[in-house]
Structure 1
Amino acid sequence: MTTILEVQDGILKVQGELEELRKRLQEEMPEAERAHLWKKEELLMREKEFLMKEKELLLREKELLLVQSGQNSTALVEDRSEEWIKHMLIPGLTTLPQHDYDLANALFPEKHGKLPVTMRMYRERLMQKPNVTKSFLIEADDSIVPVVLTVALRVSFGREVSEMGVSGRAGSFLRDIFELCRSYSPSKFTYQFFSDCNATTAGRRSSSTEERSRPDTLLTASGCTFLIGEDKLSSLSDAEADLTAKVRPLSTMFYGELQFILGYIEAGSAFQWLSIGKSGVVRRVGPTLDLSTDVDRCQYLLSIGYAYQLIKKMIDSVPQVPGRHAMFTVDIVGDRTLCFFPDRVRKSIKNFDSFCREKMTGLDVILRAYKAGERCPSLPQLMGNKSDDYRSRTGTYTVQISPLGHAPILRSEQSIRTMARNVCEALSVLHEAGLFHRDVRLPNVVQVSQEQFMLIDLETVAAYPFRLPEGFQYFREWSIEMLEGNSYTPMSDMYQLGRLLKKDVR
């Protein structure tokens, strides 16, 4: 029967072969040989995916056996993961660290925990390095937590040949430890983990990469980004410079009084935790770890568990804001894609010509709306160069707009009045430019500060005079009452605002 350790060894072997193959693809060679390597790469990727799924299935199968054992008194196995994980985690934090020194102590406490590992692993390490074993490991059984930690300690650190290899390894460590904490520790929260975010383009047929505006690793929860990581093959300094260029000051509306979020940089086997302050300043915290050494590997795995506890405390401290989107994440609905960055949103619409025909608008009209709103704080600001840049050869429309906002929280008559006044201001600017918005709904109103609201989604605008063709199927958001005869007028936008206030605000 295949074991989890054997599957993990297979994953590492395939990863190594992929890295060597991708290194060869950077060299000059005949097209026939390159095509052969591309085919081999695809096969290795499929093999790796199969092994990853097999590892997941084995872990689930083991967990199922452990659960069933609790219902069967004659079973020979027992799940003690909740007990074992207590050995590696420090008691819950009462307050969040306010300074880098306190943060370093939280990630690397003087009285640290111990990593539960399988009996075989513990005895092997006890013979080889007794001092390290006694300081950082504790002998356990074959429950899920000890098995996963044993696998993590067995990972070998050879010389990486690609940045993707560094990212894959870092993501595996972080994901596995966070999943253990979420499954078996008392502190539980829902999060999303993204690794290797900067993928190669052209179906891996080219060494070029997409715009490197996203960090390699992200952890998000409650619509906020709480962990950012950058991996490099060259040096920690290069990784730190890249990450520093990508972060911005933390929005008070999103993060409240939180003073920092966590970051990390990794290059080869070197690893360093970071503090990303409220002003966007990046600082190193704690020691630089060499993950190829036993002591530093143990400290690293323990610190991930402590980072999990820190992030749980961060989540509890940020304001709860509906409709908030985490930095560097992507929202895809049909042909529309929204990418959220610290200082802007990038919107893309595939099949843009079809979109324009359906909405009865056009690129020139949409750009007129953004131009009209350049001096209006109640309309989004366009970040771009020239009109040719907004539509690609593939027919995809792309714009970048600012500022960022979130779904409004209308808890007082004053906030409702402010929202209505700002929407009227935005509509006034559009109407004076000879344009209609045609989609005034609460989802298209965002709050950008405590006293400012903004009307977004200018891709629905049209120029007047605007008359619907015979037999036209009304937009989902429209009703017959919005039209004067068969025409859309400025009063139609005002009708939508009135309906919004009556229906959605109360």
Structure 2
Amino acid sequence: MLHWGMDSIIRIPLQIFHENIGGGILPIEMDRNSKDQGTTTIGNKRPGFLCWTNNNELEEKFNKFDHMYFGNIQFMICYAAAGTRLRFFAIDGSPNTNPPSRLVSLSNQLDVNNRRDRVSILCIVVNIARIIRTVNNTIPEMIIPLGKRLKTEKSMITILSDSVEKRVSVEYLPFAGNLDGRINFLSGMYEYAKGHPGLVQVKEGPSVSRQGIYKVVLETRGHVCQLSNEDEARAMSQNVLTGLNWLHKGGYVHRDIRLPNILFIPGDADCKYVLIDFEHANVDGLVTSERLKDWDNKTLTEHNEYTTQSDLYQFGKMLRDLDMVNSEAGRKFLDGLRDKSINIQNVLHHEWFR
């Protein structure tokens, strides 16, 4: 790699501190965009390395700090390198900073071939470690690898600064026997969900490439849903069931109600949780012979139909598995979903939501 020597003199001391002090006190993770040749990094906003690189691109890579991914961090420590020379900077991410003053120099120009400069670099790295330790409480717990393709079991997810791109080989796309019909169905469903709370919002509708790759670009960005108490479970339920209710009114069923298919949207006071991943969806009442892994013998009707009631049953099953709904009203709610006495017309009027 072009700056391997410089990376090492910065990376190795930080890694030693991380291993000996403990990750909880010095939370760092090493990563480099090995494919960065200038325009690549700007395009997907993925930084070049840990404290992160290239003088001409620094401000373009971090033209704003999105609290969705950066938390309450007000600055980013970085370095710019050219040949054997480098210089450390801080990018001021506070909202009132004018662009000309965003890049703040933290050091003079240093040369790794100069012994005294190498000592200076090590001293700066020690101070960086001290800074990381000081701001530890403001660093987000979840690391979001912007611009990096994340491979799941059957899909590829790329999280960008303003969208999320999902790709699936058509061989893994459910109900793709009639591919054109399936794409039209999913396009209609994503379009139907537009503007409605509790549902993922699409930026670019579904399409299939010549290579047989299904692609959809989503406007909704968020974090993995992690609940810690009944109040949070109630808020999530109200948001997601609001979205699910709208889908059901349109004749759609989701069919894959699971916690991984629910996102938490920080900073959204009105709707903090949304239901995502429509790719397993279909019409209400479809007879099916194949079952998803989270279904059980009560999911389908006696005629093997997946209905709106099946969605509610699966939602209740997911809530029970969380094991955090313990109030009397909450237990009644779970019982009603399990015995299917609660339906889409009355689910949001249950006493648990009052």
Determine if the TM-score, normalized by the shorter chain, exceeds 0.5: yes
Distance 2:283 2:306 in 1: 10
Preserved contact between residue 198 and residue 215 of structure 1 (Cα < 8 Å): no
Q: Could you report, residue by residue, the CA deviation over 1:237-280 in whole angstroms, capped at 9, with x for unpaired residues?
A: x2234424xx53231x6655443332333333232322342449
Q: Partner of 1:33 in structure 2?
A: none
Which one of the candidate residues 79, 83, 88 is aligned to 1:272?
88
Partner of 2:292: 475
Deviations 1:13-67 (A, max 9, x none): xxxxxxxxxxxxxxxxxxxxxxxxxxxxxxxxxxxxxxxxxxxxxxxxxxxxxxx
Say whether the 8 Å CA contact 1:436–1:462 is kept in structure 2. Answer: yes
- Which digits, 9 at most, give the CA deviation of each residue in 1:364-392, with x for residues without a partner? 222222211210132122222x65xx322
CA distance in 1, matches of 2:69, 2:247: 29
Who is 2:122 aligned against? 301
How far does residue 461 in structure 1 lie from its aligned partner after superposition? Answer: 1.4
Alignment of 1:66-465 (within 5 A): 165-166=2-3, 168-184=4-20, 189=26, 191-198=28-35, 212-219=43-50, 227=51, 229-231=52-54, 236=55, 238-244=56-62, 247-251=63-67, 256-268=71-83, 269-279=85-95, 282-291=102-111, 292-318=113-139, 320=141, 325-349=144-168, 351-357=169-175, 362-384=182-204, 387=206, 390-449=207-266, 451=269, 452-465=272-285
How much has 1:453 moved relative to structure 2?
Answer: 0.9
Opposite residue 199 of structure 2, the aligned amino acid is L
Say what the alpha-carbon RMSD is for the aligned residues. Answer: 3.3
Aligned residue for 2:274, secondary structure, equals strand
The code of the aligned residue for 2:44 comes to: S
1:270–1:289 Cα contact (<8 Å) kept: yes
What is the aligned length?
Answer: 311
Contact 2:42 2:61 in 1 (8 A): no
TM-aligned CA distance change 1:410 to 1:278, over 3 Å: farther
Counterparts in 2 of 1:358 and 1:368: CA distance versus 1, 3 Å = closer
Q: Deviations over 1:332-374 (max 9, x none)?
A: 223322222343322222x223333489983222222221121
Unaligned 5+ runs, structure 2: 326-354
Kindly state the Cα deviation for residue 423 of structure 1 after the two structures are TM-superposed: 1.0
Counterparts in 2 of 1:186 and 1:419: CA distance versus 1, 3 Å: closer
* CA–CA distance in structure 2, aligned partners of residues 190 and 482 of structure 1: 43
Query: 1:192: Cα distance to partner?
Result: 2.4
Give me the whole-angstrom Cα distance separating, in 2, the residues matched to 1:344 and 1:318: 22
TM-score (norm 1): 0.54
What SS is found at the alignment partner of 1:431? helix
Cα distance change of structure 1 residues 198 and 313 upon mapping to structure 2, 3 Å threshold: farther
Aligned residue in 2 for 1:466: 286
- For 1:184 and 1:498, locate their aligned partners in 2 and report how far apart those are by CA, in whole Å: 45
Moved more, 450-459 or 285-294: 285-294
Deviation at 1:455, TM superposition (A): 0.7
Q: 1:197 to 1:378 in 2, by over 3 A?
A: farther
Distance 1:331 1:487 in 2: 34
Tell me what 1:494 maps to.
312
- Is the contact between residue 26 and residue 132 of structure 2 (CA under 8 Å) also seen in structure 1? no
Rg larger for:
1
How far apart in 1 are the matches of 2:139 and 2:27? 15
User: Is the 8 Å Cα contact of residues 18 and 28 (structure 2) preserved in structure 1?
Assistant: no
Structure 1 CA distance for aligned equivalents of residues 171 and 106 of structure 2: 53
Picking from 316, 321, 324, the partner of 1:503 is: 321
Q: Give the number of the structure whose residues are more often helix, by fraction.
A: 1
**Alpha-carbon contact 1:250-1:278 (below 8 Å) kept:** no
Give distance in 1, aligned partners of 2:215 and 2:86.
Answer: 38
The percentage of counterpart residues that share the same residue type is: 21
Question: 1:419/1:360 Cα in 2 relative to 1: closer, same or farther (>3 Å)?
Answer: farther
Report how far residue 454 of structure 1 moved.
Answer: 0.7
- TM (norm. structure 2) is 0.74
Provide the C-alpha distance between the structure 1 equivalents of 2:70 and 2:41, rounded to a whole number of angstroms: 29
1:217/1:230 contact within 8 Å kept:
yes
- Give the equivalent residue in structure 2 for 1:11: none
**Cα shift at 1:438:** 0.6
Does the 8 Å CA contact 1:248/1:343 hold for their aligned counterparts?
A: no
CA displacement 1:172-200 (0-9 Å, x = unmatched): 33322222323455886453211234357
Task: Name the structure 1 match of 2:345.
Answer: none
Change (3 A) 1:456 1:189: same
3-state SS of 1:458 partner? coil
Contact residue 167 and residue 214 of structure 2 kept, 8 A: yes
**Secondary structure of the equivalent of 1:418?**
helix
Give yes or no for contact 1:289–1:300 (8 Å, CA) kept in 2: no
Does the 8 Å contact 2:41/2:61 carry over to 1? no
